A and B are shown apart, each in its own frame.
Chain A
Amino acid sequence: LAKTTQPISMDSYEGQEVNITCSHNNIATNDYITWYQQFPSQGPRFIIQGYKTKVTNEVASLFIPADRKSSTLSLPRVSLSDTAVYYCPLSGGGGATNKLIFGTGTLLAVQP
């Protein structure tokens, strides 16, 4: 499983859409792309996962190009409570490959 690369930090304002990009040039065929949110001194919280194309749930969208070497997490209309570190770890499928390889994450700071 390859490590991922993200911007160290991003700033935004309440109500804006935020897009965080993750680079995973060495992604393997059986790797899944996942995104987690982490607040200080808490465990990471799952946001969304995908394999290819676009995935949308009630809190975010995930865009994955055809070559899968990058992915973009889109958070619509962020609020102050979205200030957190966002990670895009890769994971294999089920069984023994189901482990997460984290990079350093992106600290998103939302201003009023």
Chain B
Amino acid sequence: DAGVTQSPTHLIKTRGQQVTLRCSPKSGHDTVSWYQQALGQGPQFIFQYYEEEERQRGNFPDRFSGHQFPNYSSELNVNALLLGDSALYLCASSRWGGGSYNEQFFGPGTRLTVL
């Protein structure tokens, strides 16, 4: 089992450009969550996808959007990039449902640098 995989590993963009990040969840998982981690800070929740729909969203502008595919993989899109979007973007997968905490498995992240 490869666990959660993300691509690309690193990415450099300029202000105003658009970027797409990709995530493949751990085998058996159907839910994908995205987090943004700025340098020296804890990860911040962006949104969560299940059954190809956005189920929850954190305090991020509409420039951040996502998609989930039938095979449970997911994309994070960021439009009109700002310098402040430079961060490590983390994908986490889990199982939906159940009454207790479902462990979230994190991928290695994509390091985005905006110049």
User: B residues within 8 A CB of A98?
Assistant: 31, 33, 48, 94, 96, 101-102, 104
Size category, B interface: 35 or more
**Contact yes or no, A93 B101, CB < 8 A:** yes
Within the assembled complex, what's the spacing in Å between the Cα atoms of A33 and B106? 17
Decide if A41 touches B55 in the complex (CB within 8 Å): no
Number of A-B contacts (CB under 8 A): 84
1/0 contact trace for A39-73 toward B, CB 8 Å? 00111111001010000000000000000000000
State the CA gap A11–B100 with chains docked (Å).
33
Q: Is B98's CB under 8 angstroms from A99's CB?
A: no
Structural contact, B48 and A99, CB atoms closer than 8 A: yes
In the bound complex, do residue B42 and residue A43 qualify as a contact, i.e. CB atoms below 8 Å apart? no
A34 to B103, CA, bound (A): 9
Q: Given A43-B106, A49-B103, A94 and B41 touching (CB < 8 A)?
A: no
Judge whether A20 is part of the interface by a CB distance below 8 angstroms.
Answer: no
User: For the complex, is A100 an interface residue (Cβ under 8 Å from B)?
Assistant: yes
Residues facing A in B60-115 (CB within 8 A) are 88, 90, 92, 94-109, 111
